[in-house]
A and B are shown apart, each in its own frame.
With several copies, the nearest count.
Chain A
Amino acid sequence: MQLVFLGKFGELAPKGLASPTLPDDVRTLADLKDWIAGQAPVLGKAMALTTTRVAVNRALVHDLSRPVRADDEIAFLPPMSGG
């Protein structure tokens, strides 16, 4: 599994989180967010305090009960500020 942290999340994410080894009880995207907050509390707090969008394999996913798979690339996106 690959994790991608964009924008300000990228600055707060410890390097080691990019290719994490997850415990068996991390089954869904919601579980993964909780696990990240435990591993990197500052990042977890930033993600909780703002609107965080999640993309799985480069498609936005709104249902965080979606199971995570070993070959997923999962990205966490803070509020966008293009243009």
Chain B
Amino acid sequence: MDIRITAAPFDPHAECAAFAADRADAGALVSFVGLCRQETAGRAVTGLTIDHYEGFTQTQIADLAADVARRYRVPDLLVIHRIGPILPGEAIVLVAALSTHRGAAFEAVQVLMDYLKTDAPLWKKETGPDGARWVEPRQDDRLRRAALENQA
């Protein structure tokens, strides 16, 4: 398991390639890349800034990932999350899973993304021509999270 937060831009495709390299034992690689959009809900976005809590954010994300790895039996997880200022088109987050079969890898990546949206100690601020605003969790992310809780 490889869990990183980074203030520097990263190349999610190169990271996926490194993650899957020399893994002829795994049959399935599922990955999700969240990208900084240039507009959201009709508003232009000139950038994002993500606040984090030093010494806490990384360990919390590692705990969430360990929980998902155990629950879905997918130990090979990669999470990279940007912090600080981010420009449109840059990757915000990469979550990837390697597994023998695809079902578990899909589930692990999807559930881990659901958790990151609502339970990773990160706070996103969008900047646009009209100023900056803190992003509130989306209603559907909260509902998804509640559904996960009921399954657990």
A–B interface present (Cβ within 8 A): yes
Taking Cβ atoms with an 8 Å cutoff, the residues of A that contact B are 4, 6-8, 10, 55, 58, 75, 77-83
Contact of A82 among B56, B124, B125, B134 (CB under 8 A): B124
Contact of B116 among A10, A78, A79, A82 (CB under 8 A): A82
Contact with A along B95-138 (1 / 0, CB 8 A): 00000000000000000010011111111110000000011110
A-contacting 9-mer, from B6-14, B18-26, B47-55: B47-55
Question: In the assembled complex, how far is the CB of residue A55 from the closest CB belonging to chain B, in whole angstroms?
Answer: 6
Residues on B with C-beta less than 8 A from A75 are: 53, 56
Sample (21) of A-B pairs whose CB atoms are under 8 Å apart: A6-B52, A6-B121, A6-B123, A7-B123, A7-B134, A8-B134, A10-B51, A55-B56, A55-B121, A58-B53, A77-B53, A80-B118, A80-B119, A80-B120, A80-B122, A80-B123, A81-B122, A81-B136, A82-B124, A83-B92, A83-B120
Q: Is B34 an interface residue (CB 8 A)?
A: yes
Q: Contact at A80–B53, with CB atoms within 8 Å?
A: no
Contacts known (A6-B123, A10-B51, A77-B121); A82 close to B93, Cβ less than 8 A: yes
Residues on B with C-beta less than 8 A from A79 are: 118, 136-137
Question: In the assembled complex, how far is the CB of residue B60 from the closest CB belonging to chain A, in whole angstroms?
Answer: 8
Q: Contact at B136–A80, with CB atoms within 8 Å?
A: no
Q: What is the CA–CA distance of A7 and B125 in the complex, to the nearest angstrom? A: 8
Q: Contact at B117–A83, with CB atoms within 8 Å?
A: yes
Q: Contact at A82–B51, with CB atoms within 8 Å?
A: no
Residues on B with C-beta less than 8 A from A55 are: 53, 56, 121
Q: Contact at B34–A81, with CB atoms within 8 Å?
A: no
Chain B residue with Cβ nearest A53: B121
Question: In the assembled complex, how far is the CB of residue B114 from the closest CB belonging to chain A, in whole angstroms?
Answer: 8
Contacts known (A78-B123, A82-B93); A6 close to B51, Cβ less than 8 A: yes
Chain A residue with Cβ nearest B5: A82
Question: In the assembled complex, how far is the CB of residue B30 from the closest CB belonging to chain A, in whole angstroms?
Answer: 13
Q: What is the CA–CA distance of A42 and B123 in the complex, to the nearest angstrom? A: 19
Q: Contact at A83–B56, with CB atoms within 8 Å?
A: no
6 closest cross-chain pairs (CB), A and B: A7-B123, A82-B122, A82-B120, A83-B116, A83-B117, A8-B134
